[in-house]
Structure 1
């Protein structure tokens, strides 16, 4: 007996990666009967995903455009002790609210929310309520896999959207304000001005541990706002921990005998040095929509392993950051990086650094002690 939920493609996880896959198939492959399965009441979670214009190819921009809640065509700033710079690359922020609204509108009854998955197989999904969904193909996009098999630092953050009682005076995003006290590794504050009186303030740390002490960080956000002269109420909160991968074994992270296809962070599809996944999520969704669903497990694993191999340079940089730089001095690495060519910076965030870019990043006066850097480089990342 065929269930109404049976489908050609079951996508498990309605976050950024799973959501973009569903939107790409809905637009490009409407004949494919897809089902997006999300455990939450709504897809998307509670996130802001920001990206530079150069992170997403112009031909691919249509896929992410409906998710963009804010765009700053005038570029962005960075601030370090004794050094500030204004960069002209436009910046964008997509939100989980926009993702949820778009998915609900585009998918209709092809979105199954509030559904807990009990078991996965290449051709079926078993829900915790006992229902079984037969599928021509299944792809698992439920966030990170077993990160314990990788060597990671961590980018962790707590963000508050503040509604100020007067204009806050920030006219463009501040990607890094590292003039703050350096705690728990490299610390910076990230600012997104949503409108004249609303600003998103994120306190971010490149840390050795994934422990996130939100109750300790929230007063620092309040102190930062007070120092800026902002009297404000908190209207939105979010927090997160992203892996900064600097080593490990892909075959342990995604074992060859795993029978289910993967996507997103679960497949290792993110920029290793930053943990950002949106550019790869867009590329992967469109790649997947352009290929047959037969042999999905093997094809997605080959695709993800090739991405892992291309990321070796970024893992090396991560190893230098966490292995060669003293935590309180890590800001110097970023300050030096932000003194380089804007095109190089843009390609770095997109994960598309050229050979010349890679040489330029590593050459010149080192921002960390040369002995520590050489000790780190002597043992190349896996």
Structure 2
């Protein structure tokens, strides 16, 4: 008899695992617990086509709310249009697709679980309930507030602005992110790469409205508002991070440390792990713990380069010059940029990123790396 699986958390990671099992392993009994009354919370997740392998596209295709061919970036000394397709998932679409795909008996909404052990019922548990102890990490912070806005007239954007760093640089590296959800609907997010996690939501909302007015858009806020603070990891103890939320159970998403160390992106990792779980021949509790822990530990080891870049960004670059790092990065070949976001940077990519005319003085960068390793 197949052992039942309890998935804790109906966010991106937990929802994708449940969907993958429902589509590829219908014989496996599972139960998805979510403390809220909706799945996916209140989020907009975005990804480039290159972030998801072709063989895993089935896992995200039904959830996509918007898709655009190409995107723009804007810096004080560089403006560029890149050809990669960009996609966004709204949490309302995520919730609707999961409700259609999952039998009602597989869902427990409004179900808060204090400890993984009490939910297992003797079967396997996959815990996806948010991050572990961030005190085990040395990190900078990516902070953001996003607002959906209606424009009085068509705004004229046909593709996203993924980074507009021509704005005033406040509290570190600041950029504005704009998604055209419709002819008169925009989702605008104001993002900061800062030394501290403090976020003044009302002040940032005011800056978003100022940005819209400066673009000539007369806007009215809609219902969607999103805010968050994510770690940008410089270094950390993976074993301590994993153990901070318990041992002996499977984990996914932020709980497992599965997020891009520089961008904070978690969707590519969520897709990869959900697809791998759906392919696994053994879904017992012990096998799932080994699979998820091993998968996350390998990802952590492979991504030391991104933590090195974060060291230079937060420990070597002055806050008001951090934008120069991203400005130079976006002048590099587009395939390299695609591989970076997918966390698949090659050896040659790494050499290309670190050589040439770096925006941070080399002695200062080397000094920061040495201090961080001390």
2:72 corresponds to 1:82: no
In structure 1, what is the Cα distance between the partners aligned to 2:316 and 2:283?
A: 44
Matched residue, 1:129:
none
Matched residue, 2:272:
283
2:17 corresponds to 1:21: yes
Correspondence for 1:321 among 291, 313, 317: 313
2:143 corresponds to 1:153: no
Answer whether contact 1:189 1:204 (CA < 8 A) is retained: yes
Give 1:369 deviation, angstroms: 2.3
2:130 corresponds to 1:143: yes
Correspondence for 2:183 among 196, 204, 212: 196
Give 1:381 deviation, angstroms: 5.5
Correspondence for 2:332 among 331, 340, 352: 340
2:82 corresponds to 1:92: no
1:98-247 superposed matches below 5 A: 98-107=93-102, 108-121=104-117, 124-125=118-119, 134-235=121-222, 236-247=224-235
Structure 1-normalised TM-score?
0.93
Correspondence for 2:30 among 18, 30, 34: 34
Give 1:365 deviation, angstroms: 1.1
Unaligned runs of 5+ in 1: 1-5, 126-132
In structure 2, what is the Cα distance between the partners aligned to 1:215 and 1:372?
A: 36
Give 1:379 deviation, angstroms: 4.3
Give 1:301 deviation, angstroms: 1.0
Answer whether contact 1:312 1:381 (CA < 8 A) is retained: no
TM-aligned CA distance change 1:156 to 1:333, over 3 Å = same
Give 1:191 deviation, angstroms: 0.5
Residue by residue, what CA displacement relative to the aligned partner does 1:150-177 show, whole Å, maximum 9, x if unpaired?
Answer: 0111111101111001011211100100
My pick for the range that moved more, 167-176 or 181-190, is 167-176
Answer whether contact 2:77 2:327 (CA < 8 A) is retained: no
Larger relative helix fraction: 2
2:354 corresponds to 1:362: yes
Matched residue, 2:303:
311
Residue by residue, what CA displacement relative to the aligned partner does 1:172-223 show, whole Å, maximum 9, x if unpaired?
Answer: 1001000000001100000001111111111000111111110111110111
2:279 corresponds to 1:258: no
TM-aligned CA distance change 1:381 to 1:355, over 3 Å = farther
Give 1:88 deviation, angstroms: 0.5
My pick for the range that moved more, 10-19 or 370-379, is 370-379
SS of alignment partner, residue 192 of structure 2: strand
**How many residue pairs were aligned?**
367
Structure 1: which 4+ aligned runs deviate by more than 4 Å? 379-382
Unaligned runs of 5+ in 2: none
2:47 corresponds to 1:51: yes
Residue by residue, what CA displacement relative to the aligned partner does 1:26-45 show, whole Å, maximum 9, x if unpaired?
Answer: 00110111100000011101
Answer whether contact 1:7 1:134 (CA < 8 A) is retained: no
Answer whether contact 2:3 2:283 (CA < 8 A) is retained: no
Matched residue, 1:130:
none
2:5 corresponds to 1:9: yes
Answer whether contact 1:316 1:380 (CA < 8 A) is retained: no
Give 1:299 deviation, angstroms: 2.5
